[in-house]
A and B are shown apart, each in its own frame.
Chain A
Amino acid sequence: AEKVIQVWSTASRQEGEELTLDCSYETSQVLYHLFWYKHLLSGEMVFLIRQTSSSTAKERSGRYSVVFQKSLKSISLIISALQPDDSGKYFCALWERSNYNVLYFGSGTKLTVEP
Chain B
Amino acid sequence: GPKVLQIPSHQIIDMGQMVTLNCDPVSNHLYFYWYKQILGQQMEFLVNFYNGKVMEKSKLFKDQFSVERPDGSYFTLKIQPTALEDSAVYFCASSFDWGNTLYFGAGTRLSVL
Contacts and interface: CB of A to CB of B under 8 A. Distances in A.
Contacts of A35: 101-102
Residue in B42, B56, B105 whose Cβ sees the most chain A Cβ within 10 Å: B42
Interface of B: 1, 9, 31, 33, 35, 41-45, 48, 55-56, 58, 89, 91, 93, 98-99, 101-107, 109
B1 A47 contact: yes
A81 interface: no
14 contacts: A42-B106, A43-B89, A43-B109, A45-B93, A45-B104, A47-B104, A91-B42, A101-B48, A101-B98, A102-B45, A102-B58, A103-B45, A105-B44, A108-B42
Contacts of B106: 40, 42-45
Interface in A75-115: 91, 95, 97, 100-108
Interface of A: 33, 35, 37, 40, 42-47, 50, 91, 95, 97, 100-108
A100 B102 contact: no
Nearest to B46: A102
Given A47-B1, A91-B43, A108-B42, A103 B102 contact: yes
